[in-house]
Amino acid sequence: MKSNKEVTIYDIAAELNISAATVSRGLKDHPSINKKTKKRIRETALEMGYRSNTFASNLRSKRTNTIGVIIPRLNSNFMSAVLSGMEKVANEASYNLIISQSLESAQKEALNVQTMFNNRVDGIMVSLAYDTTDTSHFELLLKKGIPLLFFDRVLELPQCTCVMIDNRKAGYEATKHLLEQGCKNIFHITGQLTRTVYAERLSGYKSALQDFGLEYNEANVLITRLDEKAGTDAAEKIMAMSSRPDGVFASNDTSAVSCMSALKRSGLRIPEDVAFVGFNNDPISRVIEPNLSTINYPGFEMGQIAAQKLINHLNTENHINMTDSIILKAELISRASSRRTL
């Protein structure tokens, strides 16, 4: 009959006829223990089913070597790339990640923050939910000195680092590209403007129109959740407009592709009738025909830089500055969905 008794270092010491202190140092890879002894200790620990008491160790050190990550959605190619970058850096630095999703809900985001706090994470990296306006749930972390870093959808607080792209410039470049292809009436699909990423892309869109001598038309902007339905809704609106747009700039590739597909089903030609630029450079942008022009958003690099910044802060005795912003480069990728013969 199997025993439910937890195996301790004293059990391993008794099995190997060595001291518990030697077992403890061997499990921690201490240089004073020779390699052969370390190997015996580890093999015996594995065979006996020993589990280190990380909880007790964490209480003593006041560190868990765990970082919390809160993202809006897991089913996003961009967020998957960000998480891959974070995971790579965290693994190399012997940190673990606890990943949760807000499901675009401010209420769930606040619960996730509380759960991370209760699990004693050393720091938290957050991309804000779609509808977050009240940010008081972050105050507890700041009061307790828990480092907080925002990425992509950011909240610019004096004590926090933000890792992002120049969204205004990216919105300008996307719109400028369509204008240079001969578009005169450009429709913009965007997200909740309380999120600075979307507000700044809209600002870039407006600036490009102004620079080309075109007036901003509020009817040409659709604020949505940027999912597939948003794309089909945009297509329906475009088809119903008396002055039909000849270009579309969408704030993500999902809504852009969905809108393109719906317009094609309605008989419009891409890019001859309506030219398209999306955002993120998701794999779907290279599958749709014609291939979607898009803004390349360096998700993997963003994840790496965000994790490295936070871990450097945690591992530096006097802590490095966590109050700056890091702006990554994003660039337009021109493909067939926007290229016209002028």
Model confidence pLDDT, tens digit, residues 282-312: 999 999 999 999 999 999 999 999 999 999 9
Residue 324: its pLDDT value, please? 77
| pLDDT given at position 31 | 86
pLDDT category of residue 157 using cuts at 50, 70 and 90? confident
268 and 187 housed in the same domain: yes
Structural domain of residue 46, as residue ranges?
9-52
First to last CA, the chain: 81
Q: Given a cut of 90, is residue 52 above it in pLDDT?
A: no
pLDDT range class, residue 58, cuts 50, 70, 90:
low
At 196-242, the pLDDT tens digits run 999 999 999 999 999 999 999 999 999 999 999 999 999 999 999 99
For residues 193 and 269, membership in a common domain is answered with yes
Most confident of 57-71, 293-307, 308-322: 293-307
Say which CATH number the domain at 275 has: 3.40.50.2300
Confidence of residue 1 (pLDDT cuts 50, 70, 90): very low
Beta bridge partners of 277: 249, 293
User: Is residue 125 in some structural domain?
Assistant: yes
Per-residue model confidence (pLDDT) at position 7 = 85
Question: How distant is the alpha carbon of residue 139 from its chain centre?
Answer: 21
For residues 134 and 113, membership in a common domain is answered with yes
Whether a cis peptide bond, with omega within 30° of 0, leads into 271 is: yes
Give the span between the Cα atoms of 154 and 273, in whole angstroms: 36
The confidence band for 321, taking pLDDT boundaries of 50, 70 and 90, is low
Give percent above pLDDT 90 in the chain: 77
Q: Quick one: 133 and 277 in the same domain?
A: no
Q: What is the mean pLDDT of the segment spanning 87-107?
A: 95
**Higher-confidence residue: 144 or 266?**
266
- 1 or 135, greater pLDDT: 135
Which residues make beta-bridge pairs with 248?
Answer: 187, 276
Question: What is the pLDDT averaged over residues 305-321?
Answer: 84
**DSSP sequence for 277-325:** E-SB--GGGGTSSSPPBEEE--HHHHHHHHHHHHHHHHHSTT----S-E
Residue 61 tokens, joined: 């050190």
CB half-sphere exposure, 303, CA atoms < 13 A:
23
Query: Residue 73: its pLDDT value, please?
Result: 93
Q: What is the pLDDT of residues 72-93, one digit of tens each?
A: 999 899 999 999 999 999 999 9
**What pLDDT was estimated at residue 54?**
55
Nearest partner of 236 among 178, 288, 187, judged by Cα: 187
Q: How confident is the model at residue 2 (pLDDT cuts 50, 70, 90)?
A: very low
Same domain (yes/no): 76, 31: no
Give pLDDT, residue 322: 67
Q: How far is CA 67 from the centre of its chain?
A: 14
Report if residue 313 sits inside a domain: yes
What value does the mean pLDDT of the chain take? 92
**Lowest-confidence range among 2-6, 47-51, 113-117, 253-257?**
2-6
Q: Is 108 found in the same domain as 46?
A: no
Q: Is 71 a member of any domain? A: yes
Count of domains forming the chain: 3
Residues 96 and 184 in one domain: no
Lowest mean pLDDT among 53-62, 107-116, 150-159: 53-62
| 194 and 87 belong to one structural domain | no
Given a cut of 50, whether residue 171 has pLDDT beyond it is yes
Q: DSSP state, 218?
A: G
Whether the per-residue pLDDT at 63 is higher than 80: the answer is no
